[in-house]
Amino acid sequence: MKPAVGKNMILITIILMDLLSGMEFDLFVPSFPELQDQFNLSPFWVEASLSINFIGFCLSLFFIGSLADHYGRKPIILLGLITFVIGSMLCLWAPTYHFLLVGRFLQGVGIAAPSILSFLIIADSYPLSKQQFYLAMLNGLMNAAAGAAPVIGSYITMYFHWQGNFMALLLLGLLTLVMTLLFIPMHKLPEHKETLSLKGYLPIFQSKPLMLLIVNIIFIFVPYWIFVGMSPLLYMENLGVSLSHFGYYQGSMAVVFALGSVMYGLILNKVDHKKTLNFSNLLFLFSFILIAGLAFVDSTDPLLITGALLIFVIGQIIPTTILFPLCLNYLPQAKGKVAAIVQGSRLILSSLALQLAGYSYVGTFRNIGIILSAFILIAIISLFFVLKKPELKV
């Protein structure tokens, strides 16, 4: 195989991993009302299908970061994809909701490896500026797919019911598994391999600048996933949005994020990073004011609610592109561990926030808006301190 062709196939495989990671969450969300009716579930138990997935993902993180730094990226990704395929099969043929939750747990366990390690294949091979460019492009592609996922999932649900979404995930998982086996190279390991003990994580937690970066990335991530998890019930059950139109509300955010990521990636090296990050924080502040106001009046307009959060999503583009590669390269010898902490913390917090939102949900936007506002406020404050840290060289 020619080197250029080989590099293209590696990038295509990484894109498939990212598509699978994005669609694994979004694709079956439009089938929540159908699942609720079929299995006679409360909103709390519907949201549990997301939370159990997060729990499986997070349990994997105790092992994936260290294993990847010790044994390399490819073997761990393959093991994860095999687990994901098994979980998808269990979901597809689930006779009871508890059986489906087992499958969702295994999907979470399995998807953790490609989700965390796919970008490390690029981080191992390119300098920081190239990593930021590729991250912007991959974010664009992944979020375009995530944007299409609710729309696709809505129509799959209409014609093939909730099982059709899990069939789609199973087929995509199998394709990604085969492509990874054929085209992802083995990672060259250092002579002195990283320890497999939890002590290997101590330098990360002892670094205050790195932990500040991690905290900011976590809180920038959470508000969008609260919306993804709660909007099916709010929009379709209480705000009168039809199943065929729901995907457009949720999908618009991912599409805007995708287009913005690609556009920002193309001008990345021509702009002042600090100034653009300050601009992002202004967008976060504007979104915070709008969402808090809509929560206060208990808005019933899905277009206004979506628009207010869309401003926050646009603001996410710049810090996501700049700060995550910076975070990974702060301790180059522990990239796998850092990636695991970032992804795991984001999903643990998202899971807790979703369960809180599901528990406090009473059929209106108010409580959801209050929770969203709180997380956005913390994102604003933490990004402000990131910009004030000279050690981070933003």
Q: Considering only residues 101 and 140, tell me which one the structure prediction assigns the higher pLDDT.
A: 101
276 lies in some domain:
yes
3-class secondary structure for the chain?
Answer: CCHHHHHHHHHHHHHHHHHHHHHHHHCCHHHHHHHHHHHCCCHHHHHHHHHHHHHHHHHHHHHHHHHHHHHCHHHHHHHHHHHHHHHHHHHHCCCCHHHHHHHHHHHHHHHHHHHHHHHHHHHCCCCHHHHHHHHHHHHHHHHHHHHHHHHHHHHHHHHHHHHHHHHHHHHHHHHHHHHHHHHCCCCCCCCCCCCCCHHHHHHHHHCHHHHHHHHHHHHHHHHHHHHHHHHHHHHHHHCCCCHHHHHHHHHHHHHHHHHHHHHHHHHHHHCCHHHHHHHHHHHHHHHHHHHHHHHHHCCCCHHHHHHHHHHHHHHHHHHHHHHHHHHHHHCHHHHHHHHHHHHHHHHHHHHHHHHHHHHHCCCCCHHHHHHHHHHHHHHHHHHHHHHHCHHHCC
Indicate the range of 237-241, 250-254, 320-324, 370-374 predicted with least confidence: 250-254
- More confident call, 344 vs 38: 38
| Residue 189 belongs to some domain of the structure | no
Which residue did the predictor score with more confidence, 297 or 268? 297
> Does some domain include residue 190?
no
Q: What is the mean pLDDT of residues 5-28?
A: 80
Count of domains observed in the chain: 1
Q: Does 326 score more than 80 pLDDT?
A: yes
- Computed over every residue of the chain, the mean pLDDT equals 84
Query: What CATH code is carried by the domain that includes residue 23?
Result: 1.20.1250.20
pLDDT exceeds cutoff 70 at 191? no
Mean pLDDT of 222-228: 85
| Range scoring the smallest mean pLDDT among 73-77, 184-188, 230-234, 260-264 | 184-188
Domain of 337 in residue numbering reads as: 3-182+197-392
Band of the pLDDT at 19, cuts 50, 70, 90? confident
In a domain, 191, yes or no: no
193, pLDDT greater than 70: no
Q: What is the pLDDT of residue 293?
A: 96
Q: What integer is the mean pLDDT of 148-173?
A: 83
Is 78's pLDDT higher than 90? yes
